[in-house]
């Protein structure tokens, strides 16, 4: 790459902020311009987890020193990625571009009966929900994913009546193994969350407040049509996180975080990661690589995700969908177990419920060569302990 004078980053969420921080910290000398319509972007996970707590956990993403923050909406990006147009008429020229624009919350396509409908994508959204919710409120939650479960459990723990309308017969379909989804549903039901299975609009009843947590859409509508996308609009990137045009990598533009979908490698079939941990990892890695002028290296971190739902702790590491074999390890009745995933006979992913040390061990094993990881035969042993496996490798 030729010497850069300006690096522009669209999106000051976690991925964009970490990229800027790592670039400056890695000795990058170009001016860094961070563009976002929000004056103070926030970390998203604490908002849903403390939505109905006595105090909302609002954690602003602090801008690194030496970064120029431009508050505005990007309305058009030129095809070569070197010219950005903002909603106030401003034009920003850059030598290199990182797209970390993230997602927008989807809203229901049908009218919901009763009170107002809210989404959760910002601190303002969370504050609006809290302001609309009185004591002992009746809350409807539309959604089957992490955000829906986090909000529902927070509401139940605060003494509200809460009903979750699921698309299927359990939450987290397509994201987690059936054993994980059912265990979480049962434990939340014991805490007072009501679940309505296989719900459709005819099942919706009036609630004081609705929370719609039905996923998001990538913010790519203002980006060049020439840039490759997947079927849901996420930007396709190569293993160096570079944008692609007709399958060929761009030389000066990358995409990271929720908006990006790896088009090649072992995780290509897993779809967009949409994970805070992956966003932070990609942002840090890319910032360091661009600062060093090393743009052909490949991002190879083990992707992982976490969700805290009241006292329940659920984790995923590596590839946990579309695998050949899934083996449940541990005692499902206790609510503390793992689901180990294998592809072509090699451990490729692990889901963990309420066992953080076991999750950490799985992450360490997934970063090792396949020959050092447990096999399906090992996983079938009821006494398998991934922590002990890691310790044995280190001894």
Residue 53: other Cβ atoms inside 10 A? 13
What token pair was written down for 92?
């920003």
| Each residue's pLDDT tens digit, 39-68 | 878 787 788 888 998 888 878 887 778 899
Q: Using CA of residue 351, residue 354, residue 355, residue 356, what is the dihedral sign?
A: positive
- pTM (two decimals): 0.93
CATH of 311-393, one of 3.40.640.10, 3.30.390.30, 3.40.390.10, 3.30.70.20: 3.30.390.30
Distance CA 287, CA 24 (A): 8
- Distance (Å, whole) CA 302 – CA 299: 9
Task: Write the CA distances from 212 to 95, 139, 187, integer angstroms.
Answer: 39, 11, 22
| 6-102+219-292 matches 106-215 in fold | yes
Distances (CA, A) of 13 to 38, 145, 146, 308: 9, 21, 19, 20
Q: What is the pLDDT of residues 62-116, one digit of tens each?
A: 777 889 999 999 999 999 999 999 999 999 999 999 999 999 999 999 999 999 9
The CATH superfamily label for domain 6-102+219-292 reads FAD/NAD(P)-binding domain (3.50.50.60)
pLDDT of residue 261: 96
In 10 A of CB 329, how many CB atoms? Answer: 22
- Environment class of 230 (CB within 10 Å of its CB; exposed 0-12, middle 13-18, buried 19+): middle
**Strands, DSSP E only, in 133-262?**
138-142, 161-165, 193-196, 209-212, 216-218, 235-237, 242-245, 248-255, 260-262
pLDDT score at 1: 54
Domain positions in the chain: 6-102+219-292, 106-215, 311-393
CA angle 226, 102, 107 (to 5 degrees): 105
Spans of the chain, pLDDT less than 50: none
DSSP string, 35-103: EESSSS-B-SHHHHHTTTSSS----B-PPPTTEEEEES-EEEE-TTS-EEEETTS-EEE-SEEEE---E
Q: Tell the residue number behind the tokens 């490759």, with chain if given.
A: 228
**Residue 80 Ramachandran class (φ > 0 left, ψ -120 to 50 alpha, else beta):** alpha
- For residue 86 the two structure tokens come to 């903002």
DSSP assignment of 17-52 equals HHHHHHHHHTT--SEEEEEESSSS-B-SHHHHHTTT
pLDDT at 271: 81
Architecture per CATH, domain 106-215, reads as 3-Layer(bba) Sandwich (3.50)
Cα separation, 40 vs 61, in Å, equals: 7
Give the other-Cβ count within 10 Å of 356's Cβ: 11
pLDDT of residue 64: 75
């Amino acid at each position: 790459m030729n010497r850069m004078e300006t690096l522009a980053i669209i999106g000051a969420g976690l991925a964009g902020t970490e990229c800027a921080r790592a670039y400056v910290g890695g000795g990058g000398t170009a001016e860094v311009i961070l563009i976002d319509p929000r004056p103070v972007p926030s970390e998203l996970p604490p908002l849903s987890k403390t939505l109905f707590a006595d105090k909302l956990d609002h954690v602003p993403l602090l801008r690194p020193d030496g970064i120029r923050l431009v508050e505005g909406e990007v309305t058009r990006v030129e095809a070569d990625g070197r010219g950005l147009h903002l909603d106030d008429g401003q034009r920003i020229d850059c030598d290199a571009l990182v797209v970390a624009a993230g997602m927008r919350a989807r809203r229901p396509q049908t009218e919901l009966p009763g009170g107002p409908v809210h989404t959760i994508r910002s601190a303002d959204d969370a504050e609006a929900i809290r302001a609309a919710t009185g004591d002992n409120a009746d809350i409807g939650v539309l959604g089957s994913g992490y955000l829906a479960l986090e909000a529902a459990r927070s509401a139940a723990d605060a003494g509200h009546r809460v009903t979750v309308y699921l698309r299927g017969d359990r939450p987290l379909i397509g994201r987690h193994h059936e054993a994980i989804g059912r265990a979480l549903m049962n434990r939340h039901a014991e805490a007072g969350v009501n679940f309505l299975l296989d719900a459709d609009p005819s099942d919706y009843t009036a609630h004081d407040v609705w929370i719609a947590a039905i996923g998001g859409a990538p913010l790519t509508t203002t980006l060049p049509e020439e840039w490759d996308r997947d079927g849901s609009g996420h930007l396709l990137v190569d293993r160096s996180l570079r944008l692609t045009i007709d399958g060929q990598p761009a030389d000066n533009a990358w995409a990271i975080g929720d908006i990006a979908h790896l088009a090649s490698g072992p995780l290509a079939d897993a779809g967009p990661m949409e994970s805070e941990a992956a966003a932070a990892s990609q942002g840090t890695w890319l910032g360091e690589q661009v600062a060093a002028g090393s743009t052909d290296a490949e991002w190879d971190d083990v992707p992982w995700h976490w969700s805290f739902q009241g006292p329940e702790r659920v984790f995923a590491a590596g590839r946990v969908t579309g695998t050949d074999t899934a083996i449940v390890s541990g005692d499902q009745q206790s609510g503390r177990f793992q689901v180990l995933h294998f592809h072509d006979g090699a451990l490729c992913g692990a889901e963990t419920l309420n066992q953080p040390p076991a999750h950490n061990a799985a992450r360490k094993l997934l970063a090792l060569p396949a020959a050092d990881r447990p096999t399906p035969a090992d996983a079938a042993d009821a006494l398998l302990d991934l922590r002990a496996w890691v310790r044995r490798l280190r001894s």
